[in-house]
Amino acid sequence: MQKKEIKYRLQKLRQEIRKHRSNYHIQDISSISGGVLDSLMHQLSQLEAEYPELITPDSPTQRVGGEVLPEFEKVAHTIPMMSLNDVFDEAELQQWEDRNRGIVDKAKTLQYFVELKLDGLAVSIKYANYQLTQGLTRGNGQEGENITHNIKTIQDIPIKLNSKEQIVDKLKNYDINLANRFESLWQSDCEIRGEAYIRYSQLDLINQNLRAQGQAEYANVRNLAAGSLRQLDSSITASRGLSFFAWGLITDLGQTTQQEEYWILEALGFPVVRENKLVDNIKQAQEYYQHILNLRERIDFAYDGVVVKVNDKNMQNQLGFTGKGPRFMIAYKFPAEEVTTQVIDIISQVGRTGKVTPVAIMKPVNVYGVTVTRATLHNQDEIERLELLIGDTVIIRRAGDVIPEIVKVLPELRIGSEEKYQYPSICPECGTALIQAKEQVNQYCPNTRCPARHIEYLSYAVSKEGFNIEGLSKKILLKLQEADLIQHIDDIFKLSLDDIKITAGFGEKSAQNLFNSIQNSKNITFRRFIQALGIPMVGNQTALQLSRHFQSLDEFLTTNLEQLQAIPDIGEKVASSIMDYIYNTNNLHIIKELLKSGISIDYPIAKKGIWADKTICITGTFEQFTRDELKAKIEAEGGIVVSQVSSQTDILLVGAKAGSKLEKAKKFGIKIITEREL
Ligand code: IVH
């Protein structure tokens, strides 16, 4: 990019960040997720670091977000409500500790109080003579909005603090010295800070009502919490059922550690997060982070990371503050599911069935803990739907193990040099003219000998889904193919140790390893065998159903269209695709050769579990088990898990936040069960 272009891009980035920040902090609407905003900021600060001469004083990197709304009375905070600096991985967390070690007495051990980083709204609450007198939002950090009338409606927040005797008694249970210190310092005027939030179950309730009235639903708990807190009419706030957790005590009531602060907050009468705790070192803080990340699906409120706080208050004072926030605390954020990056190019990739898929090549970016450089664009329609140009800044998403995809283009960030993608008319691998069936969005390479098609198929057949041959990567497959040693899947099982050693350029040991893992993969379940055949439209679930329905491979290979369509969830298209495969003598030849080379198929023992032959669809989020665990349980009991509700579905398993599938199931009169009933 030329300097002029960079300047323009910086300008665009700043504009965009300002707009979304204002939406997030002020208007209570989030146009984009927190992770996306973080990553736009990251792009901006990276570019500014490269070109420091282009930093402007009003750049969002130079100031904190948030402003005060005009409708509410503005009140100055006793001490500013600052932000936290972020880290995103173990190495950054360690760097934070190392920097701190350079400031505090090196010999001292650093203990940490670790807490959930709640995703609600920070509020400050003041008490005078035990009574709640004032509640403020964070506002711009210096001044907040006076929302006392709304704060008073939150059931979790005491209108009157516990009596001194009650507090002292409670503290004695934790630490007698703390109780004594508290007793001598106690003053009934104090300020505490914490997070107002909405529980997921509460969002569900409210959305259910809105749905029943045909009104628009709230997108997430944070929006609802923000909107509810900033109401001029407090009866509306009251009706929303906000909750509260305390995380900070501003007044000195004798706390010398963060742990003691937590005990006092609880003794005063505030709810505190049960999972918060003291750990002995940074390694344990890391373990806590992992544990809390795994808990996420099972907790009824939102949190987006953990806060690691130096436990000792003296050390906290020694460490002090940076411009943005304290040095003695850090927000250790969970990996973002959505981030932004730039599309550098679009290429076409030929898949194992010949389908041509446009793929976006992107500037490397870390999303949900993994560096991503490619995202599938599915087909032409998708590029048009997204209105994607090469050079665009995009939001990409990757949740859990899901393949990354482009969710949205940010056209406001265009600087004019972006280009339209030219669709190919010939296969980029073998040059054959591509075909596009009528009313089909996908383009295909019709050449069954296309090398790209073939290698994709082989790599799929040996993957975990199929023969599960460990160590046989696409790279090695390519080398074996180039050496003319393999053409079809059966050839893999005929390879000699020498073949492998010479072509893959392997040493004795690695060649032997790969050879062994090929031999060890000769036993295969019927389900994975069917999957490994690579029949178009037959995925994991269809393979499971076929393997259950047919007693043997022979029976499967001599089936007909009607029989296939009688199997749950197999429609006309899938059935004809299977028939096309079976009618092809080439395919039958390969299967014969596979069996000749020593492949042996394990057939499932006809086990009749409690869900035998029932098709079950899963929707919503669950408390006890993850979706994968539930799926495994159902399958172990003979059930078949399907992704969509249809009139053929027997049972819908519903969790919290169930949406359209629940409606559909009700419409079809399908039996509905909950996690507990399962
Ligand atoms: S301590 C200097 N503890 O995170 C601010 N904050 O980025 C010290 N937050 O505005 C805050 N959970 O709304 C603290 N356990 C926790 C928190 C927490 C959520 C929020 C809070 C604050 C923001 C700072």
Q: How far is the CA of 225 from the centre of ligand 1 (A)?
A: 16
In short, whether 248's Cβ falls inside 6 Å of ligand 1 is: yes
List the domain range (segments joined by +) for residue 18.
3-62
Same domain, 265 and 293: yes
Same domain, 179 and 319: yes
In short, whether 80's Cβ falls inside 6 Å of ligand 1 is: no
- On whether residue 608 sits in a domain, the answer given is no
Highest-confidence range of 3-7, 116-120, 649-653, by mean pLDDT?
Answer: 116-120
- On whether residue 607 sits in a domain, the answer given is no
Same domain, 208 and 147: yes
Tell me, what CATH number does 464's domain have?
1.10.150.20
Candidate of 78, 118, 245, 308 to mutate for ligand 1, largest count of ligand atoms within 8 Å of Cβ: 118
**Which one of the listed residues 12, 74, 117, 170 is annotated catalytic?**
117
Tell me, what CATH number does 166's domain have?
3.30.470.30
Give residue 219's pLDDT band: very low, low, confident or very high (50, 70, 90): confident
- On whether residue 367 sits in a domain, the answer given is yes
Same domain, 19 and 34: yes
Same domain, 580 and 638: no
Tell me, what CATH number does 45's domain have?
1.10.287.610
Give residue 27's pLDDT band: very low, low, confident or very high (50, 70, 90): low
Last residue in a domain, options 602, 636, 660: 602
Provide long-range contacts, Cβ within 8 A and 24+ apart, for 69-75: 69/26, 69/145, 69/230, 71/232, 72/137, 72/145, 72/146, 72/147, 72/230, 73/145, 73/146, 74/139, 74/143, 74/144, 74/145, 74/146, 75/134, 75/136, 75/143, 75/144, 75/145, 75/146
Tell me, what CATH number does 654's domain have?
3.40.50.10190
- On whether residue 9 sits in a domain, the answer given is yes
Reply yes or no on whether the pLDDT at 14 is more than 70. yes
Same domain, 312 and 407: no
- On whether residue 67 sits in a domain, the answer given is no
Give residue 65's pLDDT band: very low, low, confident or very high (50, 70, 90): low
- On whether residue 589 sits in a domain, the answer given is yes
Same domain, 344 and 324: no
In short, whether 193's Cβ falls inside 6 Å of ligand 1 is: no
pLDDT computed for residue 106 by the predictor: 76
Give residue 21's pLDDT band: very low, low, confident or very high (50, 70, 90): confident
User: Helix or strand or coil: residue 569?
Assistant: coil
Residue nearest to atom 12 of ligand 1 (CA): 117
Tell me, what CATH number does 382's domain have?
2.40.50.140
| Residues linked to residue 38 through DSSP beta bridges, in sequence order | none
Ligand 1 atom nearest to 326, measured from its CA: 2
Q: Cβ neighbours of residue 452 under 8 Å, at least 6 residues apart?
A: 349, 350, 427, 428, 429, 430, 445
Same domain, 437 and 457: no
Per-residue pLDDT tens over the stretch 542-593 = 998 899 899 899 999 999 999 999 987 788 999 999 999 999 888 899 999 9
Residue nearest to atom 24 of ligand 1 (CA): 83
Same domain, 186 and 269: yes
Residue 335: both structure tokens together = 């990996």
117 is catalytic: yes
Same domain, 591 and 624: no
Q: What is the tally of structural domains in the chain?
A: 5
Same domain, 404 and 547: no
In short, whether 331's Cβ falls inside 6 Å of ligand 1 is: yes
In short, whether 11's Cβ falls inside 6 Å of ligand 1 is: no
pLDDT computed for residue 69 by the predictor: 57
Reply yes or no on whether the pLDDT at 12 is more than 70. yes
pLDDT computed for residue 267 by the predictor: 97
Q: How far is the CA of 146 from the centre of ligand 1 (A)?
A: 19
Q: How far is the CA of 122 from the centre of ligand 1 (A)?
A: 7
Same domain, 171 and 236: yes
